[in-house]
Amino acid sequence: MSKKGSVSRRPGFGSRAGIALFLLPGVGTYAVFMLYPTIQSFLYSVIEWQLLKPVWRFEGFHNYVQLLHDPILLMALGNNFRAWVLHAFLALPLAVLLSYALSRRAHAAGFFRLIYYIPNVCGGSILALIWRFLYTQEYGINAVLKLVGLGSIIRPWLSADGIVQWATNFPQTWARVGFWTVVFLAAMSSIPEELYEAAQLDGANAWREVIHVTLPGIRGVYLSANIMAVIGSLGSYIYQYIMTKGGPLHRSETVMTYTLDTLFTKNDWGYGSTLAVFQFCLGAVLSLLISRFARKGLRSMEGVS
């Protein structure tokens, strides 16, 4: 803010019209293709529909009442919850472990980082297609399991209730590990080397270094990773959409695949919009709550250490 005066020192520079001209293309496009459709969906959820034609008359909140009694939505939320469980309790800890191993000057760290990150530069739809083959055919996952002597745990991954819910969520977790490894690696490399040297002078072993230097150093990033894990899990859909379409019998549905199904298969545009609005609001509320909670936690932790 202190720089503000210096830039607009010359009269006429930074006029309102000039600023508006700079903002117009970006803000205009954003308003038209992001804000406007979002607001439309809010309206779509409370107006009357007749044969896929909007009748612009307020119809009340009965779509929202329906949300409360929707068993499929509940199942879908269950799968988003599973996505979060895998993300928060498998992907993030594994990424911390891998990034720690890489940060301790492992040979070929660049190579490993590359391999881990590759799923994140590939299209989710194509990865989902690959995983669909890996899951359903004898030559995929099942062949690997047989090879390592775990043939007994072979299951119908994409059709059995109780298994499909986890199987459809796993590839997303698999892809995310590399993403978070890169993030944590960056955070770890920004920890000053002096902290490690000081710990070594105090006679700390590798384990104590991890506990007292590495983990505290990535605490803030780890918390924002957890917030992003919540939002990301709420928005997961591509693997379910490509591999099972939410089936069998909605067992692997997520909120987003259920929304897509309601909107474009059942053509129930009012309720479909309601589901989308619900997801948006839930995500906003959750991330607000968590970030407030996390910041508080972070502050108190910093007070302690």
Partner 1 sequence: MTSTTTDAGYGRRRFAIVSKMKKRMSQAALYSVLIGWGLCAGYPFYWLIVSSFKRPYEVFSSPFAFPKELLFSNYVDAWVLAHVGEMAQRSLYVTIASGVFAIVLASTVSYALSRFDFRGKGLLSGFLSMGFMVPETIRLLPLAIFSRKVGVYDNLVGLALIYAASRLPFNSFLLTAFMEGLPRELEEAAIMDGAGMWRVFWHITLPLSKPALVTVTTFQVLYSWNEFILALMLTKSFENRTLPVGMMMLIGEFFTNFPVLFAASVVGIIPGIVFFLVLQKQVVQGVAAGALKGV
Q: Among residue numbers 235 through 274, which ones bind partner 1 (CB under 8 A)?
A: 235, 238, 241-242, 256, 259-260, 263-264, 269, 272-273
Q: Which is nearer to partner 1, 44 or 84 (CB)?
A: 44
Least distance between partner 1 and beta carbon 37 (Å): 4
Least distance between partner 1 and beta carbon 17 (Å): 10
Residue 174 binds partner 1, judged by CB under 8 A: yes
Residue 170 binds partner 1, judged by CB under 8 A: no
Instruction: Please name the residues in contact with 298: beta carbons below 8 A apart, sequence gap of 6 or more.
Output: 219, 220, 223
Pull the structure tokens for residue 290. Answer: 């968590």
What does the per-residue mask of binding to partner 1 show for 18-57, with x meaning CB under 8 A?
A: xx--xx-xxx-xx-xxxxxxx-xx--x-------------
| CB contact at 8 A, 218 and 187 | yes
* Residue 195 DSSP one-character state: H
Residues in a beta bridge with 58: 47
Identify which of 263, 272, 230 has the alpha carbon closest to the alpha carbon of residue 77. Answer: 230
Instruction: Please name the residues in contact with 42: beta carbons below 8 A apart, sequence gap of 6 or more.
Output: 273, 277
**CA distance linking residue 164 with residue 145, whole number of Å:** 17
Identify which of 225, 228, 138, 126 has the alpha carbon closest to the alpha carbon of residue 171. Answer: 126
| CB contact at 8 A, 253 and 236 | no
Least distance between partner 1 and beta carbon 164 (Å): 19
Least distance between partner 1 and beta carbon 19 (Å): 5
Residue 157 binds partner 1, judged by CB under 8 A: no
Q: Which is nearer to partner 1, 33 or 89 (CB)?
A: 33
* Region of 17-25, 73-81, 158-166, 297-305 interacting with partner 1 (CB under 8 A): 17-25
Residue 73 binds partner 1, judged by CB under 8 A: no
**CA distance linking residue 30 with residue 13, whole number of Å:** 26
The three-state (H, E, C) secondary structure of 136-158, written as one string? HCCCCHHHHHHHCCCHHHCCCCC
Number of residues that bind partner 1 (CB under 8 A): 103
Residue 194 binds partner 1, judged by CB under 8 A: no
Q: Which is nearer to partner 1, 77 or 277 (CB)?
A: 277
Interface with partner 1 (CB under 8 A), residue from 55, 206, 249, 301: 206
* Region of 63-71, 75-83, 192-200, 228-236 interacting with partner 1 (CB under 8 A): 228-236
Instruction: Please name the residues in contact with 55: beta carbons below 8 A apart, sequence gap of 6 or more.
Output: 47, 48, 49
Residue 121 binds partner 1, judged by CB under 8 A: yes
Interface with partner 1 (CB under 8 A), residue from 157, 179, 239, 271: 179
Residues in a beta bridge with 48: 55
Q: Which is nearer to partner 1, 43 or 161 (CB)?
A: 43
* Region of 60-68, 99-107, 195-203, 244-252 interacting with partner 1 (CB under 8 A): 99-107
